[in-house]
């Protein structure tokens, strides 16, 4: 598996040489400065490649785009989408012309990954990301005041009410900004009125409707992907459940089966994110890795510890509820299959997904989840698992 590392570009406080020191060579990045829906030009792509390759001794290359975002109007099927589809295809062609051929994207309405706490203290002073079900319920029911929300949070409603009653205005503001922190670009961060407006735009979109909108997107872009050799890799919902009443359709095995079946092409693939899928108690993550192996084009390895009320915490990469050894074994077996079949792209790019903030990470201002030392530790642990599984099972690493 190709060891990779997410780099947010020149604004990332984690420098490129740290990637090399961590042991990765693949750089996963995106042109976050370009507004959603606009074309990524060859010049802009080359400029980023120039930065990544500026010091050849590091041996880094841009191997995966994360993400080429989907404009909200495509998710909503709102208005004439011709220009948006044309622009998306143009960006795909430009990326392929520059040799960047794996594109990660997601189809989560309005918000991306969602946590309520970005700096949860761990024994010894590390920091982790957490999702507290009662805080999220307080946000949904009492800050957003979404009609019908209380019924959905019955199990934690009393704790949510108590949290809200005791919370200062600044604690509420922190909760809002934590929930918004999952949106990586400079665009589309919402305040409460803005969120309500977005939810209203989705009021007519059911899960089935959203599924159809995704299928339409895939029908528009997969032929281009096939033509230029791009592998599209949808990222699962994080957490894998409806949020704020918004449907989510990439949350479980049935969802993955539906979307891969909607356009049955190898180019229509998956980012296998163990942390996102693992935050759903309904998901058997190693079994899903085996079931969808042929469509996995990019991998995020991370672990979560789930709690009975729906809360979860980002755990060490080899701790938590997901059997990481079993996942790695499934992925290496798939690599073996591809290699034997003569597939030039048999090696799967993967990155350690979020890490804790550890030691000198603290106070550095890295993007939530994207610390240096925490990810370096995660990558090192996974590298150990990969090496052991590969040797014991005779599978290509
Ligand atoms: C979280 C990330 C996601 C991912 C997008 C892909 O850390 O894995 O935000 O980049 O969902 O489009």
In CATH terms, 2-114+199-393 corresponds, of 2.40.10.10, 3.40.50.1820, 2.30.110.10, 3.20.20.150, to 3.20.20.150
Q: Give the CA distances from residue 392 to residues 100, 141, 317, 387, in Å, rounded to whole numbers and listed in that order.
A: 33, 51, 21, 9
Q: Is the dihedral of CA 384, 387, 392, 397 positive or negative?
A: positive
The count of C-alpha atoms lying within 13 angstroms of the C-alpha of 99, restricted to the half-sphere facing its C-beta, is 7
Measured in Å, residue 300 CA sits from the centre of ligand 1 at: 9
d(CA 211, CA 226): 22
d(CA 225, CA 161): 48
Mean pLDDT of 214-241: 98
d(CA 148, CA 136): 15
In terms of DSSP bridges, do strands 296-301 and 268-273 run parallel, antiparallel, or are they unpaired?
Answer: parallel
Mean pLDDT of 339-364: 97
**Residue 188 has what pLDDT?**
65
Q: Is the pLDDT of residue 185 over 70?
A: no
- Assess whether 297 carries a catalytic annotation: no
SS3 label, residue 98: coil
383: left (phi over 0), alpha (psi -120 to 50) or beta: alpha
Q: Which two tokens stand for residue 41?
A: 């030009």
Mean pLDDT of 82-92: 98
- Assess whether 370 carries a catalytic annotation: yes
Give the residue, out of 109, 238, 273, with the most ligand 1 atoms within 8 A of its beta carbon, to mutate for a pocket test: 238
Give yes or no for a contact between 212 and 81, defined as CB atoms under 8 angstroms apart: no
**Which residue's entry shows tokens 């079931």?**
291
Give yes or no for a contact between 375 and 5, defined as CB atoms under 8 angstroms apart: yes
Give yes or no for a contact between 391 and 34, defined as CB atoms under 8 angstroms apart: no
Residue 393: burial class (beta carbons within 10 Å; 0-12, 13-18, 19+): exposed
For the chain, domain boundaries:
2-114+199-393, 117-181
Q: Is the pLDDT of residue 37 over 80?
A: yes
Smallest CA-to-CA distance from 232 within 222, 242, 240, 241 is with 222
Mean pLDDT of 298-307: 98
**Residue 13 has what pLDDT?**
95
- Assess whether 273 carries a catalytic annotation: yes
- Per-residue pLDDT band at 183 (split at 50, 70, 90): confident
Which pLDDT tens digit goes with each residue over 307-345? 999 999 999 999 999 999 999 999 999 999 999 999 999
Mean pLDDT of 168-184: 91
d(CA 116, CA 178): 6
**Cα distance from N-terminal residue to C-terminal residue, the chain:** 6
- Per-residue pLDDT band at 184 (split at 50, 70, 90): low
Give the residue, out of 29, 184, 368, with the most ligand 1 atoms within 8 A of its beta carbon, to mutate for a pocket test: 184
**Residue 189 has what pLDDT?**
79
Ligand 1 atom nearest the C-alpha of 184 is 9
Give the residue, out of 112, 187, 249, with the most ligand 1 atoms within 8 A of its beta carbon, to mutate for a pocket test: 112
Ligand 1 atom nearest the C-alpha of 273 is 8
Mean pLDDT of 260-289: 97
Question: The sheet that has 127-131: what strands, in order across it?
Answer: 117-121, 127-131, 312-315, 303-306
Q: Is the pLDDT of residue 360 over 70?
A: yes
What's the mean per-residue pLDDT of the chain? 97
Of the candidates 153, 297, 354, 356, the residue annotated as catalytic is 354
Mean pLDDT of 211-217: 98
Of the candidates 104, 141, 252, 273, the residue annotated as catalytic is 273
Phi and psi at 60, nearest 5°, equal: -90, 150
Give, using CA atoms, the residue closest to atom 8 of ligand 1: 353
Mean pLDDT of 130-157: 97
Instruction: List, chain by chain if needed, residues with CB within 6 Å of any ligand 1 atom.
Output: 66-67, 104-106, 112-113, 182, 184, 235, 273, 300, 353-354, 369
- Beta strands per DSSP E along 172-283: 231-235, 268-273
**Which residue's entry shows tokens 């990524």?**
40
Measured in Å, residue 237 CA sits from the centre of ligand 1 at: 9
**Residue 331 has what pLDDT?**
98
Ligand 1 atom nearest the C-alpha of 108 is 11
Q: List, in sequence order, every residue forming a beta bridge with 2; answer none if it has no partner.
A: 349
Q: Is the pLDDT of residue 111 over 80?
A: yes
**Residue 364 has what pLDDT?**
95
Q: Is the pLDDT of residue 186 over 60?
A: no
């Amino acid at each position: 598996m190709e060891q990779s590392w997410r780099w947010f570009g020149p604004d990332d406080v984690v420098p490129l040489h740290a990637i090399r020191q961590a042991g990765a060579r693949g750089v996963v990045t995106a042109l976050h400065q370009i507004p959603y829906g606009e074309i990524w030009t060859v010049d802009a792509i080359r400029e980023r490649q120039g930065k990544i390759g500026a010091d050849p001794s590091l041996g880094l290359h841009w191997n995966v785009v994360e993400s080429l975002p989907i404009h909200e109007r495509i998710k909503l099927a709102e208005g004439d989408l011709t220009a948006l589809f044309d622009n998306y295809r143009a960006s795909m062609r430009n990326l392929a012309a520059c040799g960047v051929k794996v594109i990660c994207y997601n189809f989560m309405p309005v918000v991306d990954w969602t946590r309520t706490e970005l700096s949860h203290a761990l024994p010894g002073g590390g920091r982790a990301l957490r999702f507290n079900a009662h805080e999220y319920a307080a946000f949904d029911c009492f800050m957003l005041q979404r009609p019908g929300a209380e019924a959905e949070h019955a199990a934690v409603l009393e704790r949510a009410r108590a949290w809200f009653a005791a919370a200062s205005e600044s604690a509420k503001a922190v909760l809002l900004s934590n929930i918004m922190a999952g949106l990586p670009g400079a665009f589309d961060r919402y305040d409460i009125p803005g969120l309500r407006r977005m939810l209203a735009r989705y009021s007519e979109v059911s899960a089935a409707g959203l599924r159809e909108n995704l299928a339409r997107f895939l029908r528009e872009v997969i032929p281009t992907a096939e033509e230029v050799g791009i592998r599209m890799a949808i990222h699962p919902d994080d957490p894998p459940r409806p949020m704020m009443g918004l449907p989510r359709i990439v949350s479980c095995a049935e969802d993955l089966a539906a979307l891969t079946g909607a356009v049955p092409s190898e180019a229509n693939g998956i980012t296998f994110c163990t942390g996102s899928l693992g935050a759903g108690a309904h998901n058997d993550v190693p079994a899903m890795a085996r079931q969808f192996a042929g469509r996995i084009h990019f991998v995020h390895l991370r672990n979560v510890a789930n709690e009975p009320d729906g809360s979860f915490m980002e755990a060490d990469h080899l701790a938590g509820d997901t059997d990481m050894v079993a996942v790695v074994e499934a992925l290496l077996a798939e690599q073996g299959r591809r290699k034997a079949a003569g597939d030039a792209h048999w090696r799967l790019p993967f990155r350690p997904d979020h890490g804790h903030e550890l030691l000198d990470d603290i106070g550095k201002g890295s993007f939530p989840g994207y610390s240096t030392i925490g990810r370096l530790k995660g990558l090192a642990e996974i590298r150990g698992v990969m090496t052991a599984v590969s040797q014991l099972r005779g599978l290509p690493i």
